[in-house]
Structure 1
Amino acid sequence: MIAVSACLMGIPCRYDGKAKYSPQIIGKLKDKEIIAICPEVLGGLPVPRKPVEIMNGTGSQVLRGEKKVYDKEGKDLTSFFLKGARLTLQLLQIHEVKMACLKENSPSCGVNYVYDGKFRNQKLKGSGITSSMLVSNGIDVFSEYEIARIR
């Protein structure tokens, strides 16, 4: 079984109420058992919602309590993101999922990059909160740009 960001599966759960449907991923996964996940919705955030970024940091820094997550209006949403990451990990552990394809650049799911927290469309090298938590718990995580890793 493989976990996939729900937005990549065509589920409109992103902050803007849209999906990021990826026919390439769907095609690659046609013979696989899939579990669609959206850590932000699992954490209790609505759809749609204000854009959110990790302020000048990465998911691993949020997990260590060093950085926070804010929406564009300055509201601290860190607790929602931490809850969503924990619930996602629990769900994957229950289903014995060892691999996850997650949406790049997301404050939750970003694998290699996240936005810098200044809402100016600039990215930092690093992963999102859920991505960091999954990797630290032995789950193989990769982005939609790395689908060759699906086995």
Structure 2
Amino acid sequence: MIYGLDLLTKTLVLRTLEGEPPLVVIPGLLQFRVIFNSGAAFSIGTGMTFVFTLVATGVVVAILRTARKLRSLPWAITLGMLLGGALGNLTDRLLRYPAGFGRPASGQLQGHVVDFIETFPGHFPVWNVADSMIVCGGIVAVFLAWRGYQIDGTREVSAKNG
């Protein structure tokens, strides 16, 4: 579902806003602007597309391997968020040419991720649905681990997570 939502929003934004000025939704707070990001979430590490493609592939494989042991609904939701986000951006890296559709790629695994949600324009990086799911899933994963929830459905209780 997350993967589909990410692909759908990117497709709609490219069809309606690519090459257009930003669409201001709430002045000073939210606008939609298409950029092609060669870095990681929120434009971190721009220019390291190949590395992030390999990392995203590793994350997807690790999540799929972990899912075999999964017996916890909170962890299933969390890993679903992470997997959907990672697959969304990985699809762009594998299939989307660096400067948009229809232009030759500069090399294998060099596609750029479509980012389009700009909050606090000029003060915060542009992002997409996949980026938000990766960040939210990461936060929830840290919380679940901190509280002692295990992927097999058990919970470790200690003085720190009582």
TM range (shorter): under 0.3
Question: Which structure is larger by alpha-carbon Rg, 1 or 2?
Answer: 2
Question: Whose strand proportion is higher, 1 or 2?
Answer: 1
Question: Whose helix proportion is higher, 1 or 2?
Answer: 2
Q: Which one scores higher on RCO, CA 8 angstroms, separation ≥ 6?
A: 2
| TM-score, length-scaled by structure 1 | 0.26
| TM-score, length-scaled by structure 2 | 0.25
